[in-house]
Amino acid sequence: MNMEPRSVRFSQTTLTELMIPSYANFGGKIHGGILLSLMDKVAYSCAARHAGNYCVTVSVDGVDFLEPVEVGDLVSLHASVNYVGRTSLVIGIRVIAENVRTGIQRHTNTSYVTMVAKGSDDKPALVPELLLENEEDARRFLEAIKRRELKETYRHAFDNAKTRLAVKENLDKLSDHRCVVGWQTKNKDAK
């Protein structure tokens, strides 16, 4: 396999799809799951081009749908490799919805998909290095490193908090929330 570094441009991919009525939910807007599926497709195409191998999706970060997408919109998903590790790649995806009548384009979300390349033995396979051609490429690579570090910190903090979370001692924290404790809790003062 060719292991020469590959540029971001080499694998940049855009997928454009018309939002047809069968993609809509009962409220007439496009299902989030349709967009997730398109994001997965474009991330795969971009990652597989860079890797020169099949890839699998490991995780998806930053999926916040900021604007609803309408039936009749043209949705374009722009994908590029932001970061590569040994066998993993982070693909940044920018989603734009366009109203063809008005020409107005709306940025609905930017998300980051981590993919892992797999060799013919089905094991994670080495991917080519990323050739950074300008400061923008370098900024995205550095941001991906930062995001990965923050995610790791969050994961440790959350795992620790979860294992130490004593439900009985924390029930009073639920009083400000929209839930009802529907079982009998022992009254400490009761004889």
Ligand X SMILES: CC(C)(COP(=O)(O)OP(=O)(O)OC[C@H]1O[C@@H](n2cnc3c(N)ncnc32)[C@H](O)[C@@H]1OP(=O)(O)O)[C@@H](O)C(=O)NCCC(=O)NCCS
Q: Does residue 88 belong to the site contacting ligand X (CB under 6 A)?
A: yes
Containing H/E element for 183? none
Residue position matching structure tokens 């043209």 = 74
Minimum Å distance from CB 91 to ligand X? Answer: 12
* Stretch of 18-26, 55-63, 73-81, 159-167 lying at the interface with ligand X (CB under 6 A): 55-63
The one-letter amino acid code at 84 reads V
11 lies in the binding site for ligand X (CB under 6 A): no
Give the DSSP letter of residue 68: -
Residue 71 Cα distances to 19, 31, 74, 135, angstroms: 5, 10, 9, 38
Question: For the chain, where are the E strands, in sequence order?
Answer: 6-7, 13-18, 54-61, 74-84, 88-98, 105-118, 130-131
Among 53, 87, 108, 111, indicate the residue that binds ligand X (CB under 6 A). Answer: 87
144 binds ligand X (CB under 6 A): no
State which residue, 12 or 57, has the beta carbon closest to ligand X.
Answer: 57
The answer to whether residue 128 forms part of the interface with ligand X (CB under 6 A) is: no
Smallest distance, Å, CB 103 to ligand X? 37
Pick the stretch among 9-17, 30-38, 56-64, 138-146 that binds ligand X (CB under 6 A): 56-64
* CB neighbourhood size of 82 (10 A): 23
Nearest distance, CB of residue 61 and ligand X, angstroms: 9
The residues pairing with 126 across neighbouring beta strands, listed in sequence order, are none
> Coil, strand or helix: which one is 150?
helix
- Supply φ then ψ for residue 174, to 5 degrees: -85, -10
Is 37 an interacting residue with respect to ligand X (CB under 6 A)? no
**Candidates 7-15, 80-88, 93-101, 157-165 — which segment interacts with ligand X by CB under 6 A?**
80-88
Q: Which residues bind ligand X (CB under 6 A)?
A: 56-59, 85-88, 114, 116, 124
